Every structure is written in structure tokens, then in C-alpha cells.
């Protein structure tokens, strides 16, 4: 018998129906399909339309699909970790709102804010609750309604982001499957390059902050790119070295989907062929906390029991991290 580990036992996802194409963006800002495709790899992204819809509405169908697949009821969930940068409200936590909407009456929960690294941080945190023996069923959700904080007059950001959500269920495993290791990092001095300037305690909402368009995501793309390309690759290489993995041992790299060029650089550094790299950025863009769980959901049928999978992410903060797991089913 192996030590107690946290295994992913089900994944699911949800992407809203509306497709925002590069061609549609050409009508909104000074950009073009060729520039977006070659610089980012993105062709289209999904947008959650409708008054009164929020990030939790992306999570409800994702989680209900997961529960049905696993054959369990929402009442069996012990803990919900909701990784998001676009909570329904500053408080209460979207984890609480989700629990109410799906009927997870016995769960406690909280939101985890680590921008695009959120889902990796969330899986590592959720795994610790399983490894400690404290909980049996931990639901880790990663989702964002990025369209709620995107300025569709800013070509530096509006071409990148989209809406979407995915989730994973963690359960105890003593057969050697599940989360083996993680490397998690942050550096708050990077906050000036990727942020939302107003709406927090530093700059509460005023007419002035609204006029200055400070309630939208801001990114200094070139600087973030430089940090992302180095750090995401470093942390993916570090987790391989720490666990004595060579490229042939890795079945899949599941990277955060921010830019196809960053993904390619990470895969090159790991020595991994393109066929082993999970990429859906062309269809969803950057869904922030949603990218990695959406990838897991879409590739679920290709994963085999025992596959070594490496997750890697980089995001605002700066935050970055990698996680190594053995697929359990």
C-alpha cells in the first residue's frame, strides 16, 4: 500500500455558447486575425451573455456534469475550493454561492485568488486536505467570466481572454495514483504589470476610477511574456528534475493557455513532443482559472490510468507553479 494521496477521480467543464471570433474583434478594435493568430494562437473565445449571469453560472453546469459522471450527490462534497479572479461579488465567496446553487449542503468552501495559476494552487491546496485525512471529497473549481473585466476598446487585452470553467474532484488514493508533487511560487513585485487597478480597498470605485477605465484588466504584455516564458518553463523543468522524470516518462503536459508561444517554450524546455502537449487555446483563448481544468476535461478520454501528467501555469501576481500527478482512471 502506498501513502495516502489525492487522486483526481472526475473532471468536467463548461464553455458558454457564444463564440467571439477574431473577425468580430476586428470590428471593435484595430486588430486582425493574422496578428492574433500568429502572436497568440487564438482564433476564438467563448462569452457568457445575458443580464445577471456570473462566474458561478459557468460552474453550475460544470459541477453538475462532474457529479453525474462520478455518480455522487452534491451533499457528499466536503470542501469546495473555487479558484477565480472574477468572483460573483467581492464577498461572499463564490464557493459559497456555488454550494447553494448546487445543493452542497455539507460543504464548506472558499475562493482562491492566484490569477492564472489559481487552479494549480487550488489542486495543491485541495490535495493537502485529502492527504491529511481530514476530507474525502474535495471539489476544485477553476473558472472566470473574464468578459466582465475586459475592456473591449483595449486591443492589448480583449483579443486574449474568454469565459469558461472546469472542475476536478479529489479523493483519497493509496495505490500510488494522484498528486505526487507541486512547485508553487509567487512574486508580488510583478503586480504592476498585470492587474485591475480599482475596485479593491486601494482604489474603491468612484466616478473617477470608472472614467479612467480602471475596473478592467490591465496587462503590459511584453513584460508579462518575458517573465511567463522563463518561469513557466523553469518550474516545469524543476518538477521533472525533482521527481527524476525524463521527457519519455511524461505522458502529457497540461499548460495554462495564455499564449501558444509560451506553451511551445515550456514544452521545448521539457523536451516534450507536440503530440503530448494539451492545447485548446485556439478555441477558448485565455480563460484564466478555467484553462487547465477545461484541458483536463477535453482530454479526459485520451488519458490512461498511470499516465504521468505535468501541469504548469503562470499568472498575475506574479504567480506560477507546476504540479505532477499520476492519472487515476
Q: Cell numbers 487597478 label which residue?
A: 197
Establish if 231 lies at the interface with ligand UT7 (CB under 6 A).
no
Establish if 216 lies at the interface with ligand UT7 (CB under 6 A).
no
Nearer to ligand UT7, 23 or 105 (CB): 23
Establish if 27 lies at the interface with ligand UT7 (CB under 6 A).
no
Establish if 311 lies at the interface with ligand UT7 (CB under 6 A).
no
- Active-site residue (options: 96, 173, 259, 286): 286
Q: What are the backbone dihedrals phi and psi of residue 136, each rounded to the nearest 5 degrees, phi first? A: -105, -30
CA distances in angstroms from 219 to 39, 73, 255, listed in the order given: 15, 40, 20
Residue 117 contacts by C-beta under 8 Å, 6 or more apart in sequence? 184, 186, 256, 313, 314, 315, 317, 319, 320, 321
For ligand UT7, the nearest residue by Cβ is: 221
> Is 256 assigned a catalytic role?
yes
Please state the closest distance from residue 255 (CB atom) to ligand UT7, in A.
11
Establish if 185 lies at the interface with ligand UT7 (CB under 6 A).
no
- Active-site residue (options: 116, 158, 167, 295): 116
Q: Cell numbers 472566470 label which residue?
A: 144
Establish if 314 lies at the interface with ligand UT7 (CB under 6 A).
yes
- Among residues 155, 185, 203, 215, the one that binds ligand UT7 under rule CB under 6 A: 155
> Which three three-digit cell numbers place residue 289?
482559472
> Is 116 assigned a catalytic role?
yes
State the Cα–Cα distance between residues 217 and 146, nearest whole angstrom.
9
> Is 106 assigned a catalytic role?
no
* Ramachandran quadrant class, 196 (left: phi over 0; alpha: psi -120 to 50; beta: rest): beta
- Among residues 48, 59, 95, 159, the one that binds ligand UT7 under rule CB under 6 A: 159
- Among residues 74, 80, 116, 309, the one that binds ligand UT7 under rule CB under 6 A: 116
State the Cα–Cα distance between residues 254 and 123, nearest whole angstrom.
14
Establish if 259 lies at the interface with ligand UT7 (CB under 6 A).
yes
Rg (CA), the chain: 19
State the Cα–Cα distance between residues 264 and 312, nearest whole angstrom.
12
Cα four-point dihedral sign 220, 223, 225, 231 = negative
Q: Which stretch binds ligand UT7 (CB under 6 A): 126-134, 151-159, 180-188, 238-246?
A: 151-159
State the Cα–Cα distance between residues 236 and 242, nearest whole angstrom.
10
User: Residue 318, preceding bond cis, omega within 30 degrees?
Assistant: yes
Please state the closest distance from residue 53 (CB atom) to ligand UT7, in A.
23
- Active-site residue (options: 158, 234, 256, 289): 256
Please state the closest distance from residue 157 (CB atom) to ligand UT7, in A.
8
Establish if 128 lies at the interface with ligand UT7 (CB under 6 A).
no
Establish if 221 lies at the interface with ligand UT7 (CB under 6 A).
yes
Establish if 156 lies at the interface with ligand UT7 (CB under 6 A).
yes
State the Cα–Cα distance between residues 319 and 228, nearest whole angstrom.
9
The count of chain residues that interact with ligand UT7, using the rule CB under 6 A, is: 19
Nearer to ligand UT7, 64 or 230 (CB): 230
What count of other Cβ atoms lies within 10 Å of the Cβ of residue 105?
11
Bridge partners (DSSP) of residue 109 are: 80
Nearer to ligand UT7, 126 or 315 (CB): 315
> Which three three-digit cell numbers place residue 242?
525533482
Which residues contribute to the site for ligand UT7 (CB under 6 A)? 31, 35, 39-40, 116, 155-156, 159, 221-222, 224-225, 228, 258-259, 262, 286, 314-315
Catalytic residues: 116, 256, 286
Amino acid at each position: 500500500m502506498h501513502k495516502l494521496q489525492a487522486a483526481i477521480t472526475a473532471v468536467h467543464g463548461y464553455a458558454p455558447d457564444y463564440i467571439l471570433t477574431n473577425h468580430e474583434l476586428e470590428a471593435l478594435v484595430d486588430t486582425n486575425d493574422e496578428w492574433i493568430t500568429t502572436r497568440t494562437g487564438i482564433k476564438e473565445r467563448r462569452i457568457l451573455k445575458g443580464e445577471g449571469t456570473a462566474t458561478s453560472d459557468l460552474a453550475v453546469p460544470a459541477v453538475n456534469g462532474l457529479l453525474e459522471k462520478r455518480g455522487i450527490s452534491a451533499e457528499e462534497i466536503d470542501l469546495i475550493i473555487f479558484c477565480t479572479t472574477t468572483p460573483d461579488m467581492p464577498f461572499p465567496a463564490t464557493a459559497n454561492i456555488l454550494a447553494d446553487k448546487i445543493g452542497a449542503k455539507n460543504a464548506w468552501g472558499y475562493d482562491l485568488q492566484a490569477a492564472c495559476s489559481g487552479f494549480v494552487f487550488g489542486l495543491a491546496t485541495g490535495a493537502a486536505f485529502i492527504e491529511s485525512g481530514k476530507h474525502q471529497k474535495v471539489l476544485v473549481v477553476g473558472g472566470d467570466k473574464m468578459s466582465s473585466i475586459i475592456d473591449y476598446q483595449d486591443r492589448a487585452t480583449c483579443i486574449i481572454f474568454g469565459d469558461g470553467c472546469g472542475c476536478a474532484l479529489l479523493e483519497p488514493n493509496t495505490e500510488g495514483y494522484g498528486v505526487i508533487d507541486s512547485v508553487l511560487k509567487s512574486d508580488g513585485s510583478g503586480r504592476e504589470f498585470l492587474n485591475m487597478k480599482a475596485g479593491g480597498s486601494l482604489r474603491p470605485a468612484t466616478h473617477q476610477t470608472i472614467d479612467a477605465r480602471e475596473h478592467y484588466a490591465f496587462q503590459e504584455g511584453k513584460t508579462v511574456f518575458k517573465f511567463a516564458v522563463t518561469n513557466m518553463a523553469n518550474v516545469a523543468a524543476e518538477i521533472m528534475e525533482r521527481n527524476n522524470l525524463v521527457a519519455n516518462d511524461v505522458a502529457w503536459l497540461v499548460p495554462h493557455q495564455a499564449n501558444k508561444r509560451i506553451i511551445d517554450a515550456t514544452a521545448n524546455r521539457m523536451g516534450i513532443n507536440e503530440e503530448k502537449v494539451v492545447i485548446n487555446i485556439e478555441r477558448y483563448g485565455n480563460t484564466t482559472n478555467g484553462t487547465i481544468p477545461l484541458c483536463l476535461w477535453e482530454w479526459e478520454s485520451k488519458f490512461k490510468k498511470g499516465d504521468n501528467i505535468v501541469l504548469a501555469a503562470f499568472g498575475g501576481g506574479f504567480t506560477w507553479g507546476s504540479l505532477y500527478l499520476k492519472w487515476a482512471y
